[in-house]
Chain A
Amino acid sequence: MMGKRSLIVFSALLSLITPMALSAQRLTLTGSSTIAPLALEIGKRFEQQNPGVRVDVQTGGSSRGVNDARTGLADIGMASRALHESEADLTAYTIAMDGVCMILHRDNSIDALSDDQIRDIYTGKIRNWRELGGADLQITVVNKAEGRSTLELFLAYFGLNNSQIKASVVIGDNQQGIKTVVGNPGAIGYVSIGTAEFEEQNGSPIKRLPMNGIEASTAQVRAGRFPLSRPLNLVTKGAPGELALQFIRFTQSPGVDDLVEGQFFVPLEH
């Protein structure tokens, strides 16, 4: 008796829900865990502006994003890198740039470091600024915690494994990195360029190091010239569907610049 009644209630509820579920349009994004938090935020705003649309974001790495877009498992893949030549069957839409820069304390007399010098500092071969022509001061190596996209970008650029790095301090977010360098004149660290630029302009005693002679600024990252940077891409196979295209247009519009900056990425030029 009880079972029968609950079955009736259940099917009544189901009949209420089903038409709603059918009318809701669903957009699935999978891939890079770097882009996922941003896609989630943009998705929320997109849902608000387009009632009846559901944006579903799942992580799993850039490779999964590329694969899922290719096999059609996801409407849109997320890849925090440029597409390889072997992936020419896919179309990439850049939604923002991610840039990382090395920072020192303002009082440090060093104004530039080569890639090799940075690699030697981070692997513990150089331990004192004197060896690089600076003051007689022990180098404090600031590294990021595992899982952060800044760490991944840094390791990939310098061709290092995290276990090779001899860190003196490991930090979580960019703010903590800046506070650590501010409090220690011998420190070297790397943070998102957007955060470093903002903090420096607001009086934090830090300086951004140029890479290969290119100034570390959001302008250079946006122009694609800064070496330690990468595009954040949405990937589709062939022409995207109507809803997917609408979403991609939205992610590239000035209407989400605040969300992009909120995740410490660099918005596109519009």
Chain B
Amino acid sequence: MILSRASSLYRWNIDRTLAPLLLLAGLLCTAILLLIVLFLSKEAWPVLANGGWRAFIADNGWYPREGLFGLLPMLAASLVVMLGAITLAAPVGLGCAIFLQFYSPPVLRRGFRLLLSLLAGMPSVVLGLWGLTVLVPLVARWQPPGTSLLTAILVLAMMIVPTMALAGAAALSLVPAEMISGAAALGMGPRSRILYVAVPAARRGMLSGVLLSMARALGETMVLLMVAGNVVQYPHGLLEPVRALTANIALEMAYATDLHRAGLFASGLLLTLLVLVLAGFAARSLRYG
């Protein structure tokens, strides 16, 4: 009795010192996020105050030198590029995950997983440079200028496939083995086991992988800056150039002053909020499915 009491007291002591430290780490992370949002709001204030935000919706085009701050075409471009990339990447990425988890021979599996991890860690500027020097001239031969919605979607899809495959494989590996062998014992073939047992059981994890990839696609900057063409207009054709919100900030921030600068910070604020909403959905889907 005495012994167990002493040891539980001992553990409690560790908890007492560790818990505040962990709390501090947690608070620090949250504080940084809060500070970022506060800072963005403060810098964007000159353009947001006195109803100036209406210009983002009402103005026809983005020409800060001429006092026009229409953001909607770029918001639309960001969303369309993201949705396009996800539509291409989701089947491929989740297919990779199923192959990795159920079909690949063990010899291949390790190499394949390593390759996916390497691809997932590939700096986006390298992919962007590849897109600009290889993919863009190819598309340009077909229909100039080559830098377009299509190239942006293709390169971005390539970028998020590995992330999605790894997230999907992780979700599938969490499906209890008993569940799958149970299905086999009931006489289900491999195809039914995967489609009707494993995938439905892993759908929360897979969905959150997709949502996180969407957040990544929305926040991607370098690739879009290099291959999307950066012309401010509503996306109205696959081969037309568009400018994403992120690329706009990267293009103009270094040389922007006054209201122009505040406008860029406002678009940064908008992006942050969009990414937060996506991350929120991802967390929700993990919890409730």
Task: Map CB proximity to B onto A24-67 as digits: 1 under 8 Å, 0 otherwise.
Answer: 00000000010000000000000000000000000111000000
Known: A147-B252, A169-B231, A169-B241. A180 touches B257 (CB 8 A): no
B30 lies within 8 A of chain A by Cβ: no
Q: Give Cα distance in the complex from A113 to B252, angstroms.
A: 29
B136, B231, B254: the one within 8 Å of A147 (CB): B254
Q: Give Cα distance in the complex from A180 to B225, angstroms.
A: 12
What residues of chain A lie closer than 8 Å to B140, measured between beta carbons?
140, 183-184, 186
Known: A176-B226, A184-B145. A162 touches B65 (CB 8 A): yes
Q: Which A residue's beta carbon lies closest to that of B264?
A: A147
B99 lies within 8 A of chain A by Cβ: no
Q: Give Cα distance in the complex from A169 to B144, angstroms.
A: 10
B208 lies within 8 A of chain A by Cβ: no
Task: Map CB proximity to B onto A118-155 as digits: 1 under 8 Å, 0 otherwise.
Answer: 00000000000000000001101000011111000000
A69 lies within 8 A of chain B by Cβ: no
Q: Do A183 and B231 touch (CB < 8 A)?
A: no
B204 lies within 8 A of chain A by Cβ: no
Q: Give Cα distance in the complex from A169 to B232, angstroms.
A: 10
A180 CB, min distance to chain B CBs, angstroms: 7
Task: Map CB proximity to A onto B219-242 as digits: 1 under 8 Å, 0 otherwise.
Answer: 000000110011110000000010
What residues of chain A lie closer than 8 Å to B231, measured between beta carbons?
167-170
Q: Do B230 and A163 touch (CB < 8 A)?
A: no
What residues of chain B lie closer than 8 Å to A146, measured between beta carbons?
62-65, 252, 255-256, 260
For window 50-96 of A, CB contacts with B under 8 Å fall at 59-61
What residues of chain B lie closer than 8 Å to A149, measured between beta carbons?
255
A201 lies within 8 A of chain B by Cβ: no
Q: Give Cα distance in the complex from A186 to B243, angstroms.
A: 21
Q: Do B254 and A183 touch (CB < 8 A)?
A: no
B93 lies within 8 A of chain A by Cβ: no
A256 lies within 8 A of chain B by Cβ: no
B162 lies within 8 A of chain A by Cβ: no
Q: Do A145 and B65 touch (CB < 8 A)?
A: no
B235 CB, min distance to chain A CBs, angstroms: 15
A82 CB, min distance to chain B CBs, angstroms: 22
What residues of chain B lie closer than 8 Å to A186, measured between beta carbons?
140, 144-145
A104 lies within 8 A of chain B by Cβ: no
A63 CB, min distance to chain B CBs, angstroms: 13
Chain A: residues with Cβ within 8 Å of the partner, total of: 28
Q: Do A140 and B256 touch (CB < 8 A)?
A: no
A-B contact count (CB 8 A): 89
Q: Which A residue's beta carbon lies closest to that of B226?
A: A176
Interface centre among A146, A180, A186 (most CB of B within 10 A): A146
What residues of chain A lie closer than 8 Å to B243, measured between beta carbons?
170
Q: Give Cα distance in the complex from A184 to B232, angstroms.
A: 21
Q: Give Cα distance in the complex from A5 to B137, angstroms.
A: 69
Q: Give Cα distance in the complex from A119 to B260, angstroms.
A: 26
Q: Give Cα distance in the complex from A183 to B257, angstroms.
A: 32
Q: Give Cα distance in the complex from A175 to B276, angstroms.
A: 34
What residues of chain A lie closer than 8 Å to B251, measured between beta carbons?
145, 170, 172
Q: Do B133 and A184 touch (CB < 8 A)?
A: no
Known: A146-B65, A162-B65. A180 touches B230 (CB 8 A): no
Q: Give Cα distance in the complex from A184 to B255, angstroms.
A: 27
Known: A180-B147, A184-B137, A186-B144. A148 touches B255 (CB 8 A): yes
A18 lies within 8 A of chain B by Cβ: no
B260 CB, min distance to chain A CBs, angstroms: 7
Task: Map CB proximity to B onto A248-265 as digits: 1 under 8 Å, 0 otherwise.
Answer: 000000000000000000
Known: A183-B132, A183-B146, A184-B140. A171 touches B260 (CB 8 A): no
Known: A59-B257, A169-B231. A163 touches B63 (CB 8 A): yes
A228 lies within 8 A of chain B by Cβ: no
Interface centre among B146, B225, B230, B255 (most CB of A within 10 A): B255
9 smallest beta-carbon distances between A and B, as pairs: A147-B255, A170-B230, A140-B145, A145-B251, A183-B137, A168-B145, A172-B251, A163-B63, A138-B144
9 interchain pairs (CB within 8 A)?
A137-B144, A140-B146, A146-B255, A147-B64, A168-B147, A169-B230, A170-B251, A171-B230, A183-B140
